[in-house]
Structure 1
Amino acid sequence: MQQSKSQSENGAASLLEAPIDKTLVKMTVPMIFGMITLMLFNIVDTFFVSMLGTDQLAAISFTFPVTFTVISLAIGLSIATSAIIAKALGANNKAEARFDGAVALIVSALLVIFTSFIGYLLIDPIFSLLGATPDLLVYIRDYMAVWFIGSALLITPMIGNAVLRASGDTKTPSIIMGGAGVINAILDPILIFGFGPIPALGIQGAAIASVIAWSFGVAFILYLLIIKRKLVAWEKCQQSFMSATMKMLKIGVPAASANMLTPIAMAIMTAIVATYGAHAVAAFGVGSRIESIASIVVLALSMTLPPFISQNFGANRYDRVEQAYLISLKFVLVWQFIIYLVLIALSGVIGHIFAKEQNVIDVIKLFIYILPLGYGLQGIIILTNSSLNALHKPMHALVLSIVRLFVFYLPFAYVGSLIGDLKGLFIGALIGNLCTALVSYNWFKKQITQCQSNISSQTA
């Protein structure tokens, strides 16, 4: 217990005092490995489901915007959890941080259960609205019925990992995510195609594999947080359950709303792509999952940068906040361009791995040639959003997300589709990301300057 406490305190101290670049690298590298295996949830599911046929691949592609809506709620709540706990630790309020963690676990579970229940009741209307045909709805029901029922198990590991990251520990969350990814990868082929006495469950087997993997994550994270490290506790402090809940929701609701805008935009994009046929939807679904892997470093940074910013925010170290933000942006622009070149070189191989039909392969290659060019710009947007939430400015992050998706990304993509079909749609989306990246950078610089001015006026 003493060792765990010491580790927590040392982690907090390092975020306030250690060299910024080395600290971010130390926190981010473990997250990258953990997220690679986590992202394999989608890639492995897509690969094995693609072996069932184009209809099944199109069906699971239709599910992505909906499943990501629930995941976005969980991500938003985990962002809030990390922000409030890290700020409390930065201000040396450890009892408050432990109580906030306990409240976050309870409230988040209740919200995800409610959301998934509504989604379960509305499976047919939702996917019919997205453009799914009756023959695809059969496969979608098989997958989503299990996914919605089991999604309540998804939130606890995500919130628990946010508590760990807020204290400066990114190694353990990466192990938890990686373990879940490995379990899912092992179970997928067994449950999808059958093995020995286990029957072939088809696309439904992919959903069951995910739920089982989440269950292992729940058991481990609760043991770790409550018993071993005692990072969450229902102990007396200077706040009530309701005040702690409202504090979390003040950040969590806008953050979740901002994250939910992405699957809504994806749903609209999927509906537009669906007008070009099932092969286009299947390829777009593959492209979306490739994007998840290609942006793995950005996503890892978006999970490690906020605890760093929030702790330094709690300690009024805005100089370190700004330096960390700028270092991260410069890195992702260079890194994502390298990833783009790699994807171009491997585009033909990737197409043949995930598709058998040539028209699907052609659209996958078209996607790779255009959209990944803007992943660095997308990284600027993602990191700016996470940084604004870490500064406890969730409404700014929400407005920025609205501007990105509904002022630039979707309108430019739609106009592009009218001009140049699928190629024009992808180019329009790329231009939308460029415009938003410029807005994002200037937005954050304005906010950090305002924070520094407020501190100067208070100390004057």
Structure 2
Amino acid sequence: MSNQAPPANQILQGNIGLTLRSMTVPVLAGMLTLMTFNLVDTFFISMLGTTPLAAISFTFPVSFTVISLAIGLSIGTSAVIAKALGAGHNKEAQADSLAALWLATYLVLALSLLGMALINPMFRLLGAGGATLGYIHDYMLIWFAGAVLLVMPMVGNAVLRASGDTKTPSLIMASGGVVNAILDPVFIFGIGPIPAMGMQGAALASVLSWALGCGLIIWLLFKRGLLIAVWQPFTIALPIYRKILRIGMPAAGANMLTPLAMAILTAIMASYGAAAVAAFGVGARLESLASLVVLALSMTLPPFVSQNFGADKLQRVQQAYRLSTFFIIRWQFAVYLLLAALAWPIAAMFTEDPDVARYIRWFLWIVPLAYGLQGITILTNSSFNALHMPANALWLSLIRLFVFYVPLAWAGGKFFGVLGVFAGCVVANVFTAAIAYSWFNRVSLFKLKESA
């Protein structure tokens, strides 16, 4: 269905390590470009001052809630379509693709309208007020208005990845990041006839970059034959909605737990002042960049798992999971050493405020130590979803965030302040990774015996 996809024998029969690498490298390149330019976005906002930087940090848990819904729907879409393709049911995959795009549109429109109506009370609950709340309102009103344009390419890219094409989604992500980075200084600070719009300009630049990605992905899906219509009868769409939501909603719920936990942690950090919140926001964005390989693998491992699951090749599923987790532990430790060594210049790049800089350095010296273990949990979640076991992924997320992550961060803060919050995050990842790895291996072994 796509001349960009690896041939079926590569996904179902080829060398596992080489196949995962060939699928992951394009995703990694696209995400690196996108996230680098997202950091550029934070950099330009930081030039407006500490209060706007704190404001953008407050927006992360809320905006990530919408993004989490899109990620959940993407996971459901990828799992359903990849399994259909692995079983050779191409027409079923086409119908699933169209239904997934409309389902995402309906759900995100509803969530965005609710968010626009509740901007002020939501962020007051997070501890925002005064000038910070004004900046947040300016940014999020535009962000919510364009959120559908963000979500459509995410779901469309999941359709392409399910077919094995990871290169095209990466190019679309990268192009959006480049456009956003170019437009950011233009709209934030103004140029020629374009006035300086500050935080509103940052949001507008993002929406316009999403619009580009949306147009590209719809055009490509039609060109590749992955979409063959713009509408389908409700009697056909409804069973597909249910099939996608059976995986997508638990996956979305699991992803939405992350911004909820981030919101709680942001409120905890707010008790230490605006400098702590600003530093935590910078750290969260640096975490996305530092975990780039994990996130790329979490996008490419599921279609590999789902297609082999559909073809009843569970030994390849086990081997791919173990190979990925062992690799990610080694990789993320190397990333930690690099971040720890560069903590001073990284902090100086984002702020001149000594308190903010100190907290950023503390974050980089402590939290990334457990990114490899966090990676095991992320890959386990994505693999559970790929095996059409979303409840397991949801329970694992609940355990990670609300049995370990938030309680240990809160307890650490009570005893040791900001340093204790960061240390609590590390300890939480140690416990969760041990549970995740043993759980997935038990489940996959059971499925293998069941299919024998």
TM-score, normalised by the number of residues in structure 1: 0.96
Residue 220 to residue 5, structure 1, CA distance change in 2 (3 Å): closer
Structure 1 residue 42, shift from structure 2 partner: 2.9
CA deviation profile, 1:241-289 (whole Å, cap 9, x unmatched) = 1111100000010000000000000000000000000000000000000
Q: Is the 8 A contact 1:313 1:321 kept in 2?
A: yes
Q: Is the 8 A contact 2:38 2:177 kept in 1?
A: no
Q: Is the 8 A contact 1:41 1:210 kept in 2?
A: no
The partner residue of 1:217 within 208, 213, 219 is 213
Q: Aligned partners of 1:18, 1:164: CA distance in 2, in Å?
A: 20
Partner residue of 1:28? 24
Structure 1 residue 454, shift from structure 2 partner: 1.5
Structure 1 residue 6, shift from structure 2 partner: 5.5
Question: After the TM superposition, which of the residue ranges 39-48 and 78-87 deviates more from structure 2?
Answer: 39-48
Q: Aligned partners of 2:227, 2:327: CA distance in 1, in Å?
A: 34
The answer to whether 1:232 aligns with 2:214 is no
**Within-5 A mapping of 1:58-457:** 58-226=54-222, 228-234=223-229, 240-456=236-452
Structure 1 residue 113, shift from structure 2 partner: 0.9
Matched AA of 1:184 = N
Matched AA of 1:330 = F
Q: Is the 8 A contact 1:408 1:435 kept in 2?
A: yes
Residue 427 to residue 110, structure 1, CA distance change in 2 (3 Å): same
Q: Aligned partners of 1:242, 1:438: CA distance in 2, in Å?
A: 39
CA deviation profile, 1:304-333 (whole Å, cap 9, x unmatched) = 000000000000100000000000001110
Structure 1 residue 395, shift from structure 2 partner: 0.6
Q: Is the 8 A contact 1:101 1:233 kept in 2?
A: no
Q: Aligned partners of 1:405, 1:93: CA distance in 2, in Å?
A: 38
Q: Is the 8 A contact 1:89 1:97 kept in 2?
A: yes
Matched AA of 1:98 = Q
Matched AA of 1:39 = M
Residue 347 to residue 6, structure 1, CA distance change in 2 (3 Å): closer
Question: After the TM superposition, which of the residue ranges 12-21 and 311-320 deviates more from structure 2?
Answer: 12-21
Structure 1 residue 7, shift from structure 2 partner: 5.1
Q: Aligned partners of 2:257, 2:442: CA distance in 1, in Å?
A: 24
CA deviation profile, 1:176-235 (whole Å, cap 9, x unmatched) = 000000000000011000011110000111100000000001111111101x11112349
Q: Is the 8 A contact 2:374 2:429 kept in 1?
A: yes
Q: Aligned partners of 1:409, 1:12: CA distance in 2, in Å?
A: 40
Residue 21 to residue 135, structure 1, CA distance change in 2 (3 Å): same
Q: Aligned partners of 1:296, 1:454: CA distance in 2, in Å?
A: 35
Root-mean-square deviation (Å): 1.3
Matched AA of 2:432 = T
Q: Aligned partners of 1:50, 1:372: CA distance in 2, in Å?
A: 23
Q: Is the 8 A contact 2:69 2:252 kept in 1?
A: yes
Structure 1 residue 13, shift from structure 2 partner: 3.2
Q: Is the 8 A contact 1:72 1:259 kept in 2?
A: yes
Q: Aligned partners of 1:352, 1:108: CA distance in 2, in Å?
A: 40
Q: Is the 8 A contact 2:70 2:104 kept in 1?
A: yes
Q: Aligned partners of 1:354, 1:312: CA distance in 2, in Å?
A: 44
Q: Is the 8 A contact 2:4 2:167 kept in 1?
A: no
Residue 45 to residue 6, structure 1, CA distance change in 2 (3 Å): closer
CA deviation profile, 1:146-183 (whole Å, cap 9, x unmatched) = 00001010111101100100010000000000000000
TM-score, normalised by the number of residues in structure 2: 0.98
SS at match of 1:92: coil
Q: Aligned partners of 2:168, 2:8: CA distance in 1, in Å?
A: 16
SS at match of 1:197: coil
Identity %: 57
Structure 1 residue 40, shift from structure 2 partner: 3.0
Matched AA of 1:194 = G
CA deviation profile, 1:381-410 (whole Å, cap 9, x unmatched) = 000000000000001100100000000111
Structure 1 residue 134, shift from structure 2 partner: 1.8
SS at match of 1:240: helix
SS at match of 1:233: coil
Partner residue of 2:49? 53
Q: Aligned partners of 1:36, 1:187: CA distance in 2, in Å?
A: 19
Q: Is the 8 A contact 1:12 1:311 kept in 2?
A: no
The answer to whether 1:15 aligns with 2:15 is no
Q: Aligned partners of 1:11, 1:159: CA distance in 2, in Å?
A: 22
CA deviation profile, 1:110-166 (whole Å, cap 9, x unmatched) = 101111110110000000000002221110000000000010101111011001000
CA deviation profile, 1:318-359 (whole Å, cap 9, x unmatched) = 000000000000111000000000001110000000011111
